[in-house]
Amino acid sequence: MKSSPKKDPHLFSQQVGIKENRKIKAIHNDHKSVWFGLGMMGMVGWSITVPTILGALLGMWLDKTHPESLPWTLTCLILGLFCGCLIAWFWVSKEHKEMNKKEEDDE
C-alpha cells in the first residue's frame, strides 16, 4: 500500500523532484517545439484525409463502372476513413512510445 505524499515528506519531495526534472528537460529540449506539435497534428490530419478522399474517389469510379444496389461511394468512403484512422492511431502510438522511452531513459 502506497503512503500518500502528504504523510511521507520524502515521497513528496521525490515526486516534486521528478516533475521539476521533467520540466527542465522540456525547456531545454529544442527539437520538440510548437512547430513539432503542429506538424504532428498535420500529419495525423493528412493521414486520415488522404485515405478518405481516395476511398471516395474509388467509390465514385465503382459507381460509374459497376452500378449496383450497394452505394460504392459511401462504402469506400467509410473504409477509407477507417484505414486513415488506423494509420493515425499507428503514428500517434509510435510517437507516444518514443516519448515514454525517452522519459524512462532520462530518469
Alpha-carbon span 20 to 64, nearest angstrom:
61
Alpha-carbon span 69 to 28, nearest angstrom:
60
How confident is the prediction along the chain (107 residues), in pLDDT tens digits per residue? 455 555 677 788 888 888 888 777 767 665 666 666 667 778 888 899 999 999 999 999 999 998 877 899 999 999 999 999 999 999 888 888 887 776 666 55
DSSP-based three-state secondary structure for 82: helix
Closest CA to 89 of 49, 37, 48: 48
Q: Say what the pLDDT of residue 84 is.
A: 95
Q: Say what the pLDDT of residue 1 is.
A: 45
Alpha-carbon span 62 to 105, nearest angstrom:
51
Q: Which three cell numbers stand for residue 81?
A: 476513413
Sketch the domain layout of the chain as residue ranges. 32-106
- 0.85 exceeded by the pTM? no
